[in-house]
Structure 1
Amino acid sequence: MSLDLARLRALQRQAGRSDAPARDDPAAGRDAGAAIADRRRAYPAAAATTTAVAPTAIAPAIVVGAVSPATGPANAAADAASSVLGADGVFGPDGLVPSRPQRTDLDALRRLIALRERKPANPGASNAAAAGAAQTLERNPAARPRATARDAAPAHGLGAVTADRSLPGEEIAPGLHLIQSHLPLPGPREALSLAFAKRPDDRLDPRRLLFFDTETTGLAGGTGTRAFMIGAADWHDDPVLGDGLRIRQLMISTLSAEAAMLREFARWLAPDTVLSSYNGRCYDAPLLNTRYRLARIANPLSGLDHVDLLFPARRLYRGVWENCKLATLERELLRILREDDLPGSQAPAAWLQFLRGGSSALLRRVAAHNHQDVVTLAELMQRLVQAYAQAQAETALPES
């Protein structure tokens, strides 16, 4: 639709508008110029008013205004709108259609303001207060507030307390812990006969024995299973503590410390050491052999004598009790009753939980379980020697 501004003003004069100046009147032109300038300054308000006009307000003007064949319905509609709002209100001061102003999204603006980091109203005062509090604590350490469980709780967990990850023993290498203890259990003064192990001609110095047991990441074996704890016990005459049973345990808290554990365990072995275990010939020793091979460390177990106590115990007590597990022999033969013991089957889960950032409480119980295992092996060896000797004496008595 095209409409000449001059014709629109002529139509305004015909309609009797007093503010439409004549073309030939200079004074009227000056007045019209001043009026246009005023309307330019007030133009945004006029544009907003233009958008708010309802079609019903323009319809009466369209009906009243005369529609000539020359102008047509479109020009008639423009004439009617001009009669209501004026030429400048419809087309703007320059005769162009004004652009509609965009409305500001107040909700988006509020969200942006909320996301901005709020700064303290008076940073200087805050810094001064913090400095004053620090000086107060330096002069009076007793004024320091006590830490509570709420302070130790992480931000993401309400009421949660920081897990205790302390491990027993001494860290002798990164991730490798050594746990040592001494029990006043003097070793046998005489050589031990290995007749109970079907070696009637062999007699063994008890000081050469090393009882050992491992705690592993699984019971299936294979290259994917590794030992995270090795416990060993031997009779040792300590210059301070005296003669007794020495218990040493190696435990790793990281996977990278496995090689250091294997090297340290190799230092405990001598060429004349005799290993003793409970089913260690079939499980513990092959597992350690694999780990030494994978770590590319010389295997110190190769060529060492090994006395496995499981098979003699089965020959002597099969059918006497429900099974020949080490826990059963402890209870029935040695009269040892464990309290709050963690079963060996739960040791892998306890270690993996610690690796994932959990508490070390279960891992400490695994260490206590391993400690008792090697102590039991030392006592079981002496009892099997006595039991076999007694059985041989009872067998020889009727024949005599």
Structure 2
Amino acid sequence: MSISLDKLKALRKQAGHTDAPAAAAPAVVGAPPVAKPIQPESEVMPVSPDTSGNSPASADSSASRLAGAGMPAPLLQQPRQSTREASVFGWVENIQHKPRRAPDGNALRRLLATRNRAIAPVPRTERGPLDRDLPGTEIAPGLHLIEAFLPQPIPAQPLSLAFSKRPDESVQPRDLLFFDTETTGLAGGTGTRAFMIGAADWQHDATHGEGLRVRQLLMATLGAERAMLETFAGWLAPTTVLSSYNGRCYDAPLLKTRYRLARRGDPLSALDHVDLLFPTRRRYRGTWENCRLATIERQLLRIQREDDLPGSEAPAAWLDYLRGGSARNLRRVGEHNHQDVVTLAQLFLRLVEAEAEELTATTAM
């Protein structure tokens, strides 16, 4: 389509452009057409934000002049952050990035110095020596044995297992071994290990007479596990009857796994096991809010613990000691485990008595 020079000038004048007088170059036959120089966009769209110092009147006049050329007004009110340049590929945006401000290293160092002063540990000389003392006797590298003896009469007669739905069976009091473990978690599996094993049994001591003997094995290092398993296996006899609280589902399988991983024979599978959780649930379910051992000993046995460390905090106490922390909470774990096995012995006797009383009342009727 051809357009006359006069019509082109009229269109440019309508758009607000003025043509400077220039001599027309003679046309050369066969020569390629010469491209007309493209004006920068800064000349076509001389719009700048109000903050640049230009008066609003000049911006409005430019907007109205360009709006008359057919350009939308809203786009003309926005400040331009880039320019357009002509190339063989058409119009190309030339974005002008603002230079980034270099980080202030001195300010960062001052901030870190202030933070370090805020959380700086107290010097050892001001807070005293770190408490790393563990109770008991070290019987192997990293393995501690803690012993206690509680004088009390040993039941004279065999204890009936009728409360455990075994009415025709009974057990000798001295064959019972009440045990409980403290572990690194409740997930089970090969990643969980027992760092403490507590056991209690009725014995006759030459000095103290009859009573309940409490023995506990505590690992102070990871390498002491094999020695702990071997020592606990030495406490078991073919006539031993294990007794626990949910130990059939948790403690015993965990120890069996540790024996297998240590390439030791499993000494637990061949032994009888009386789990006190299930008969306790059958008899006292609905009586109290739950049948946890702490609830049973408080409500049924009237035992009130003081400064007791919850079992959920036992893993953290042991791991903190391994990392060089204080032994205070680890000693509290030992006290918690000690009370657990003592409570098992008392609960066993209480269940036997309750079953005998119920049987007597049924016979009298």
TM-score, with normalisation over the residues of structure 2?
0.66
Letter in 1 for 2:171: L
Map 1:168-179 → 2, pairs under 5 A: 168-179=135-146
Map 1:221-260 → 2, pairs under 5 A: 221-260=188-227
Letter in 2 for 1:374: V
Identity %: 70
2-side partners of 1:272 and 1:393: how far apart?
Answer: 30
Over alpha carbons, which structure has the higher Rg?
A: 1
TM-score, with normalisation over the residues of structure 1?
0.60
Tell me whether 1:369 sits opposite 2:336 in the alignment: yes
Partner of 1:315: 282
Q: Between Structure 1 and Structure 2, how many residues are aligned?
A: 246
Residue 239 of structure 1: how far off its partner (Å): 1.1
Of 179, 189, 198, the match for 2:156: 189
Residue 171 of structure 1: how far off its partner (Å): 0.2
Tell me whether 1:218 sits opposite 2:185 in the alignment: yes
2-side partners of 1:174 and 1:157: how far apart?
Answer: 27
1-side partners of 2:239 and 2:180: how far apart?
Answer: 19
1-side partners of 2:280 and 2:168: how far apart?
Answer: 19
2-side partners of 1:391 and 1:351: how far apart?
Answer: 44
Residue 162 of structure 1: how far off its partner (Å): 2.6
1-side partners of 2:188 and 2:361: how far apart?
Answer: 42
Partner of 2:352: 385
Task: Flag structure 1 segments of 5+ consecutive residues without an equivalent.
Answer: 1-153
Of 330, 337, 351, the match for 2:304: 337
Letter in 2 for 1:348: P
Of 232, 235, 241, the match for 1:265: 232
2-side partners of 1:157 and 1:371: how far apart?
Answer: 32
Tell me whether 1:284 sits opposite 2:280 in the alignment: no
* Offset from partner CA, 1:126-171 (integer Å, 9 cap, x none): xxxxxxxxxxxxxxxxxxxxxxxxxxxx996673433100000000
| Larger CA deviation: 385-394 vs 271-280 | 385-394
> 1:347 is paired with a residue of what secondary structure?
helix
Tell me which of the two structures has the higher relative contact order, counting C-alpha pairs closer than 8 angstroms and 6 or more residues apart.
Answer: 2
2-side partners of 1:387 and 1:215: how far apart?
Answer: 30
2-side partners of 1:210 and 1:268: how far apart?
Answer: 9
Tell me whether 1:356 sits opposite 2:330 in the alignment: no
Partner of 1:207: 174
- Between Structure 1 and Structure 2, the one with more strand by share is 2
Tell me whether 1:295 sits opposite 2:262 in the alignment: yes
> 2:179 is paired with a residue of what secondary structure?
strand
1-side partners of 2:283 and 2:154: how far apart?
Answer: 23
Letter in 1 for 2:296: L
1-side partners of 2:215 and 2:273: how far apart?
Answer: 19
1-side partners of 2:320 and 2:280: how far apart?
Answer: 35
Residue 203 of structure 1: how far off its partner (Å): 1.2
Residue 262 of structure 1: how far off its partner (Å): 0.1
> 1:389 is paired with a residue of what secondary structure?
helix
Letter in 1 for 2:270: G
> 1:202 is paired with a residue of what secondary structure?
strand
| Larger CA deviation: 217-226 vs 384-393 | 384-393
Letter in 2 for 1:257: A
Letter in 2 for 1:337: Q
> 1:369 is paired with a residue of what secondary structure?
helix
1-side partners of 2:272 and 2:364: how far apart?
Answer: 34
